[in-house]
Amino acid sequence: MDRRTKEQVANELHEKLKDFKLAVLTGYSGMDVAKMTALRVVLRKSNAELRVVKNSLLSIASRETSFSALDGNFKGPLALAITYGDVIETTKALVDFAKKNANLEIKAGMMDGKILSRDQLTILAELPSREVLIGKLLSLMVGVQTSLVNVLSGVPRNFVQVLDAYRAKKASEN
């Protein structure tokens, strides 16, 4: 690669590292082209991309971004998975692919300016998807309203039952 191409790649990568939702460093040593292509396809479905980058270019591109905190992990052959979509979906795709392919090693990640270890990324992958969490929250919110309506309607219902019992008692006395 000539100098101009390296500058272009570094600038493009720098722009991507400014506004990502999740970025994960992975080692891919020993993976063949077919497996890398399969990983790219899986990640593309979750609105993410996988880029094989030179460590020196990644170090240059990460300057003045929060991603520079991972500079100590820029060793060996690296691929960078960047997502702008659902973080959990991308993490699940990476972790599942790493379980099936021992050559893919998840090293570290970054989300919202915080460094995530391999274990934290695995825990993140075990979370339910965004849609499931929204559904659970919605059912919880509807359940609270239903309970409130039942409690509030209980007072007049009990009052009516007392009045009916009193009426029945008066009717039986006559």
Task: List, for residues 75-125, the tens digit of each pLDDT value.
Answer: 888 899 999 888 888 999 999 999 998 888 999 999 888 889 989 999 988
Pair 122, 47 in one domain: yes
CA distance 91 to 78: 17
CA distance 62 to 67: 6
Q: Could you give the number of structural domains in the chain?
A: 2
**CATH number for the domain including 56?**
3.30.70.1730
Pair 154, 80 in one domain: no
Measured from the Cβ of residue 117, the count of other Cβ atoms closer than 10 Å reads 12
Pair 81, 148 in one domain: no
Residue 17 domain boundaries: 3-127
- Burial-class residue 55 by CB neighbours within 10 Å (0-12, 13-18, 19+): middle
Pair 118, 149 in one domain: no
Instruction: Give which of 35, 50, 167 is closest to 101, Cα–Cα.
Output: 35
Q: What confidence tens digit (pLDDT) does each residue in 54-82 have?
A: 888 888 888 888 888 888 888 888 899 99
Q: According to the model, what pLDDT value does residue 154 have?
A: 84
Question: Does the pLDDT of residue 174 top 80, yes or no?
Answer: no
Q: According to the model, what pLDDT value does residue 82 have?
A: 92
Which alpha helices (H) appear in the chain, and where do they start and end? 3-18, 33-45, 55-61, 87-100, 118-126, 130-173
Pair 134, 166 in one domain: yes
- Judge whether 81 and 116 are in contact, CB under 8 Å: no
Last residue of a domain, one of 112, 127, 142: 127
Question: Does the pLDDT of residue 1 top 80, yes or no?
Answer: no
Percentage of the chain lying above the pLDDT 90 cut = 20
Pair 104, 116 in one domain: yes
Q: According to the model, what pLDDT value does residue 94 have?
A: 92
